[in-house]
Amino acid sequence: MSTTLSTSTVSCTSCPCAGGGLEKRACTATASASTSITRSSSAISTFPQGPTSTTTTAMPPSTVTTSTTRQTTLTTTTVPPQPPTTTTSRTTTSSTPPSCPASIACDADNCAGTFDQGGVRATCKGSFPGCVCRPTASTCGNPASCDAGGCAGSFDGNGQATCKGNYATCRCLPQGTQCGTPLSCNLNGCAGTFDANGQATCKGNFAGCRCLPQSEQCGTPLSCNLNGCAGSFDSNGQATCKGNFAGCRCVPQSEQCGTPLSCNLNGCAGTFDSNGQATCKGNFAGCRCLPQSEQCGAPLSCNLNGCAGTFDSNGQATCKGNFAGCRCLPQSEQCGTPVSCNLNGCAGTFDSNGQATCKGNFAGCRCLPQSEQCGTPLSCNLNGCAGTFNSDGVATCKGNFAGCRCLPQAEQCGNQASCDAGGCAGTFDADGFATCKGRYATCRCNPTTNTCGNPLSCDLNGCAGTFNSDTGRATCKGRFATCPCIATTAMCGARQSCDGNNCAGRFTGNDPYGHCTNWWQPCECNATPNTCGERRSCDLNGCNGSFDINSLQPYCRGNFRGCACLPTDRTCGTRQQCSTNGCAGTRDSDGVWRCKQNYGGCRCFVNKFWAHGGGPLGITAIPNLSMYGNDNECTNVPSDWNDRIYQIGLQDNYNCQFFQDINCAGGSVFYNARGVHNLPGNLGGQVSSFKCWRSDGNNNSPSANG
């Protein structure tokens, strides 16, 4: 804007002087004044003042001429807003002012007042030229900085900032010097609001001064990162904007909050929001924090309320969704398949409900108890164990203390089975009871041969054996029950027939009596023909047979007692006539005469004797041998005459042959004439057997003398 004001010399002849008053005073001026004012402004918000001025003054005796030029440039880039660049050029030429009114507004009565050079005072430039006038808004122009052009502005009692130096009473734009420390936008009539640049300034009193925005100015807090807020935390832990909307609380984001810390630290006073996130409600309000026990409360299921719990690397189950960071109670989804209570830091123990759970890592998860947790096995029926056998034959609790081995009772074991069946591997305990040592351990089992081992006496080690009434077998009834035992004499009682009562007796060796092999074994029994079998020599295997005085039959008297035996010369004794004592002897197919009734099997003779045998002194010496024998039958010489016969005296013309060895073997000599015969030198004192027969061929009829 450019303004030129020209005033020509006024003479009284041209003034309307007739009226008097202000007009009259103006017209009585004797001096002429010529004034030229030019103001150029590049903005509308300027005072007519500036920091630079040039003044030239010439004072002739009758005329005062003043020329003033002020060039002012103001540039601001700070908040609150400052007036833009202002350039003012003013040239004034005046004469000595007339008499001035006591008080006049610069806009009144055609005063046309403006500020003099430097803004020291405002004077009229129209009527009453040179007179001081009260500046008005039009005089002052747009407010500029209270610190510019010597304004020396300060606040009036009404909260308006006006110049107190140059441009006095003009409103000015307060700066830090005037505004001081910002106060609440709601105090002292400030009526602050935010400017377009995001700065809160007073719009009422103290207009232009920055003020501290309150909730009325700030509204609902927004993100500290929006709209140039540039929020950060104050020392009191409140997040406020430091750029636009400075002082307003803002909602802190990760950039402001940093790494979450404990909800209990630094005045955070964290609690959970409705979305399950823990945030500070005191200092650092809105920032996420790490919930502690005070925030989390008693742990709940990791599956409830959006917790979405999983295990951390330290083995603790914490929520990863809502209530993140709070410990939660792991469920099967988190725990997975139970493993040993001793693995991975589980440190499992039994809870009061009898469940084994981890107390270290993976706390709350069920674990498989080991010997350290289970301790000494107790009855499967105690303390809610509810034990049963697993598929591997081990009895473990299925209720309380699940997984721990327990001692099976009758309910678990059921009916006794073989100690060899189903992996039982039963053996006898120290108390004499057979129990499984493999599968179904401690359950009683029915002992087998493997279990019992070799039978021992029924009287040993508490066996207390007796015969079973249904099997006739001797088994233990005390310790080692059902194991076979060896019956004692006291158990067997009186011997009975080897064929009676299912005894099935037989001889098991060279024993005096047979032994029962079925019932009542191994009791001795009385032999029967079934027991004895085929007769054997009465002299074999300790039979020591002899003839029964009643039956006149040979029976064993040593081993195989009661068994009939084949008599020997020892058994039969002196050979007797086949026709005496009920012998009823006949000749067998081997040519030997034997008794067929009494003394059955004993050799008997038909002839009384065949010859005499004499020793070295001949047959007339006493004693001599009467040589008896059956017709045409080999007869061995009695042992006390063996190899001691030197002469033979035949009783008749019998045919006799005498042999060097027994059983008619070896060298021999033959005689068939009655009389005495000296044995040849090779047989003298060497005869061991002989055989004689009748010369008439009648060999079948016994005869006392042949």
pLDDT tens, residue by residue, 373-421: 999 999 999 999 999 999 999 999 999 998 898 999 999 999 999 999 9
> Looking at the domain assignment, is residue 582 inside a domain?
no
**Position 660 pLDDT exceeds 80:** yes
- Specify the long-range contacts of residues 677-682, CB closer than 8 Å, at least 24 apart: 677/647, 677/648, 677/649, 677/650, 678/646, 678/647, 679/645, 679/646, 679/647, 679/648
> Looking at the domain assignment, is residue 71 inside a domain?
yes
Q: Which of 89, 119, 137 is the last residue of a domain?
A: 137
Looking at residue 704, its pLDDT comes to 35
Q: Which of 105, 121, 137 is the last residue of a domain?
A: 137
Cα–Cα distance between 540 and 526 in angstroms, integer? 19
**Position 8 pLDDT exceeds 80:** no
**Position 691 pLDDT exceeds 50:** yes
97: pLDDT confidence band, cut at 50, 70 and 90?
A: low
Measure the N-to-C terminal CA separation of the chain; round to a whole number of Å. Answer: 201
634 or 2: which carries more pLDDT confidence?
634
CB–CB of 559/544 below 8 Å? yes
Residue 675 belongs to domain with CATH number: 2.60.20.10
> Looking at the domain assignment, is residue 86 inside a domain?
yes
> Looking at the domain assignment, is residue 202 inside a domain?
no
Average per-residue pLDDT for the chain? 82
Number of separate domains in the chain: 2
**Position 59 pLDDT exceeds 70:** no
**Position 589 pLDDT exceeds 60:** yes
Q: Which of 93, 109, 137 is the last residue of a domain?
A: 137
Alpha helices in 497-612 (DSSP H): 529-532, 569-572
> Looking at the domain assignment, is residue 636 inside a domain?
yes
Mean pLDDT value across residues 20-31: 33
- Name the residue among 183, 177, 186, 160 with its Cα closest to residue 78: 177
> Looking at the domain assignment, is residue 181 inside a domain?
no
**Position 169 pLDDT exceeds 80:** yes
> Looking at the domain assignment, is residue 459 inside a domain?
no
pTM beyond 0.75: the answer is no
593-594/474-475 β-pairing: unpaired
> Looking at the domain assignment, is residue 375 inside a domain?
no
Looking at residue 87, its pLDDT comes to 41
48: pLDDT confidence band, cut at 50, 70 and 90?
A: low
Cα–Cα distance between 540 and 557 in angstroms, integer? 12
Give the residue numbers spanning the domain of 42. Answer: 1-137
- Name the residue among 263, 260, 257 with its Cα closest to residue 280: 263
